Structure 1
Amino acid sequence: MTASTALPGSSSRIGGVLRFLLIAVIAFLTLVDLFATQVIIPGLTLRYGVSPAVMGAAVSACTLGMAAASLLVALYADRIDRRAGIVLALALLSVPTVLLAWAPTVGIFAGLRILQGLCMATAFSLTLAYLGERMTGAAAARAFAAYVTGNVASNLIGRFVASGVAGEYGIDASFYVFAALNIAGAALVLATIHRSPKMKQGMNHGRSAKSAVAAHLANPRLRAAFAFGFCILFVFIGLFTYVNFELGGPRFGLSMTALGSVYFVFLPSIFTTPLAGALAARIGVRDATIGGIALALIGLGLMTLDVLVAVLFGMALVAIGTFLAQALATGFVSRAAKGDRAAASGLYLAAYFTGGLVGAVILGQVYTAFGWTALSACVALVLGLAALLCRRFDKLPTVD
């Protein structure tokens, strides 16, 4: 990541590539539990005998824990050693992951997902804080893009592994596999990131953590970015949770294994997301973000068609657009914050993950009551709101 890791220095081209890969792999191992479970929601719905909306909300309950943890990190980040916090969070993440295989009721399942969220977001927030504190300008933009690229990979590979393992060995086996990946993530961070210098309480010109949070919330640019993050995960979680019922239901009738293969639609995003920094530098953060939203809207339109190829192509466009927008917004928050970037990142993530939970709940009810077309219309409205919010992004200079 930086000179404080075991990777080569930033002056080396190979070192830069290895650093990008390391950040992406850490992100993958941190967030793989978040999205992988979505692909097995139809099977979990049958196991617990509940409606798609109830099961979708239970699976997405992890975002409640993630919002809470992000806010806590925003308030107390200056007291937490980055490396130790990330390692401990990823190691503890394996516990509720294993217990999901034994959850007897959907309520207990949801509770364990909340615990997963607490651990995931702690690691996620501390990693973003670590990157924001040690990198600036173009280097920071590349680092954040690398982290979001790992997020993309967790969507693709995580769903594929979950569906493949569940289809071959049962749903429970998939949770054991992901617990092993959590442990691998903790080991990787322990081996590659050196301990951060001790943080001083009362830093940032004597402001307390609470006053720093208040200052960020008073910043109109950051408020717009926080609301934008809410919209992005609202769209993503809601859309990619309930599309599984369309793909596996009467409309297309795909099997569990085929559902996992469908998520190769995320593959293009692995190559497009790293371009976020360069794109922002060329045309500006605002225009680049609006372009991402436009791609997502085009993809959403294709997902309403009754042609499988069109739906898959639409899913790919939505993924490219939303991941690109997320990478740009994450970098924007780090640069727009006037001090205490950890608090700013924590607030952004709290809003982001809250959007995921609200999206799962609201869109689940819409889908159950009115179907896919109504859900798509709601998503289109939220994407339109996101496009309006990111107009604030032009108030900062572009990436260095």
Structure 2
Amino acid sequence: MTQTLTRPPQAAPVAEPPALDDAPFIERGTAAFLRTNLAFLCAGIATFALLYCVQPMMPEFSRVFGVSPAAASLSLSLPTAAMAVCMLVASAVSEALGRKPVMLVSVFASAAITIACALVPGWNSFLGLRLVQGILLSGLPAVAMAFIAEEVHPRSSGYAMGLYISGSAMGGMLGRVVSGVLMEWGGWRLAIGGIGVLGLGAAVVFWQCLPPSRHFHARPLQLRGLVENFALHLRDGGLRWLFLVGFLLMGAFVTVYNYIGYRLLAPPFGLSHAVVASVFTVYLVGIASSTFIGGLADRFGRRRLLWLILAAMLGGLMLMAMDWLPAIIAGIAVMTFCFFGAHSLASSWVGRRARVARAQASSLYLFCYYMGSSIVGAAGGVAWAGQGWPGVTWLVGGCLALALVAGLRLSRLQPVAG
């Protein structure tokens, strides 16, 4: 008898997941794009509300702790300097551990430190916690820029970066306005604690909405490779000009906001803390400008827009030189609109120009950006002590004039190949 042998039925082949390089990019108009931008909107709110909430409190720090305006500015200059330095390493850590885990630790720990700042007994301990907070905050900004450059389609990246910076603007506004109002109600400790709770809520939304990376390739944490990547970017003349723009742009902008409160609280204006805080609602124009100008950049190019916006910032500074409150507020609005638009252009330009190691390119840009805040912001205290608002105007005007020269140089820059 012949026995017929039959083959067992074979299981249907299992579809392999797409390789990282074959995964689709996040594009405008999709649900993933909406969730990603909601996540980064909240990340920007958390980061920059936590960082900049102390600006309207600086005159109160001078009164309560008996420190000078320059010393009070250390509440912002110290964390921004720490953040600038640590971002150089944070970007490399994210290359090894992943973008999302580093950003989550950064935003949750920073919110917790802010709440702790409300409980410290004295000025030195407060500054110590703010320094730690700056170290922790370093894990988000450079990594966020790298995430957008990697995961969002190039034709949507300018708009996405603009939305992230809109969150930064909203966070800066909420940090200043809410802290000013809370300080009027219950003092600076209530204000700091309230901002910490706000940051914690925004961090939860960020955690829930941010999708996982699909184009990220983990790399071992190697100091030599990190230094080589920094050197690679610093050899690029275009990136060097962009880094200079970031330094001067942020230095000028933060100096204005650091000391405008001192000016408006003093004669001839004599405004209250709550009213001065309400002036910071002009940040709303920054929220609009970063998205609007980011979209224009996708259509018309960054080199055509950047120097024009920098020139307009000088016009806003001239308005602020007047001793007429409506002109001062208009000048703040012009500077705010132009600042966030210019930052949107420059930061997205860095991500597009850097062909490799984008996290390191972003961190170098932000290192210069926040060192501008720290160095020029502290120098503004010396200018204020020496000549009052005219001294601040000369310092900020010099920074913007140099930035305009850099913007004109960038307008003639040849794009990178590839």
The TM-score with structure 1 as length reference comes to 0.91
Q: Find the partner of 1:367 among 371, 380, 384.
A: 384
Q: Which amino acid aligns with 2:179?
A: A
Q: Find the partner of 2:310 among 293, 302, 318.
A: 293
Q: Which residue of 2 aligns with 1:115?
A: 132
Whole-angstrom CA distance in 2 between matches of 1:136 and 1:250: 52
Are 2:407 and 1:390 equivalent residues in the alignment? Answer: yes
Q: Which residue of 2 aligns with 1:307?
A: 324
Q: Which residue of 1 aligns with 2:277?
A: 260
Whole-angstrom CA distance in 1 between matches of 2:220 and 2:43: 30
RMSD: 2.3
State the shift of 1:183 in Å: 2.0
Whole-angstrom CA distance in 1 between matches of 2:230 and 2:282: 38
Q: Find the partner of 1:167 among 178, 184, 187.
A: 184
Whole-angstrom CA distance in 2 between matches of 1:123 and 1:21: 15
Q: Retained in 1: the 8 A contact 2:320–2:327?
A: yes
Are 2:75 and 1:58 equivalent residues in the alignment? Answer: yes
State the shift of 1:240 in Å: 0.6
Are 2:44 and 1:27 equivalent residues in the alignment? Answer: yes
Q: Find the partner of 1:199 among 197, 214, 217.
A: 217
Q: Which moved more, 1:77-86 or 1:94-103?
A: 94-103
State the shift of 1:251 in Å: 2.9
Whole-angstrom CA distance in 2 between matches of 1:221 and 1:107: 41
Q: Retained in 2: the 8 A contact 1:66–1:121?
A: yes
State the shift of 1:62 in Å: 1.1
Q: Which moved more, 1:375-384 or 1:15-24?
A: 15-24
Q: Retained in 2: the 8 A contact 1:132–1:334?
A: yes
Q: Which moved more, 1:248-257 or 1:328-337?
A: 248-257
Alpha-carbon displacement from aligned partner over 1:142-195 (angstroms, at most 9, x marks no partner): 111111111111122221110111111221111111221232233223212244
Alpha-carbon displacement from aligned partner over 1:21-41 (angstroms, at most 9, x marks no partner): 442222112221122210111
Q: Which moved more, 1:146-155 or 1:311-320?
A: 146-155
Give the match's secondary structure for 1:242.
helix
Whole-angstrom CA distance in 2 between matches of 1:58 and 1:12: 41
Give the match's secondary structure for 2:322.
coil
Give the match's secondary structure for 1:297.
helix
Alpha-carbon displacement from aligned partner over 1:240-279 (angstroms, at most 9, x marks no partner): 1001100111131110110111111122222222012332
Q: Which residue of 2 aligns with 1:134?
A: 151
Are 2:290 and 1:273 equivalent residues in the alignment? Answer: yes
Q: Which residue of 2 aligns with 1:317?
A: 334
Q: Which residue of 2 aligns with 1:358?
A: 375
Q: Which residue of 1 aligns with 2:350?
A: 333
Q: Retained in 2: the 8 A contact 1:300–1:318?
A: yes
Closer, same or farther in 2 for the Cα pair 1:92/1:104, shift >3 Å? same
Are 2:95 and 1:78 equivalent residues in the alignment? Answer: yes
State the shift of 1:304 in Å: 0.9
The TM-score with structure 2 as length reference comes to 0.87
Q: Retained in 1: the 8 A contact 2:91–2:139?
A: no
Whole-angstrom CA distance in 2 between matches of 1:75 and 1:68: 12
Correspondence list, 1:204-215, <5 A: 208-215=225-232
Q: Retained in 1: the 8 A contact 2:184–2:273?
A: yes
State the shift of 1:16 in Å: 4.7
State the shift of 1:14 in Å: 6.8
Once the two structures are aligned, what percentage of the paired residues are identical? 26
Q: Retained in 2: the 8 A contact 1:238–1:360?
A: yes
Q: Which amino acid aligns with 2:143?
A: L
Q: Which residue of 2 aligns with 1:378?
A: 395
Whole-angstrom CA distance in 2 between matches of 1:124 and 1:87: 12
Alpha-carbon displacement from aligned partner over 1:278-319 (angstroms, at most 9, x marks no partner): 322444312311121122111101111110000000000010
Q: Retained in 2: the 8 A contact 1:265–1:316?
A: yes
Give the match's secondary structure for 1:60.
helix
- Aligned length in residues: 390
Q: Find the partner of 1:48 among 48, 65, 77.
A: 65
Are 2:112 and 1:95 equivalent residues in the alignment? Answer: yes
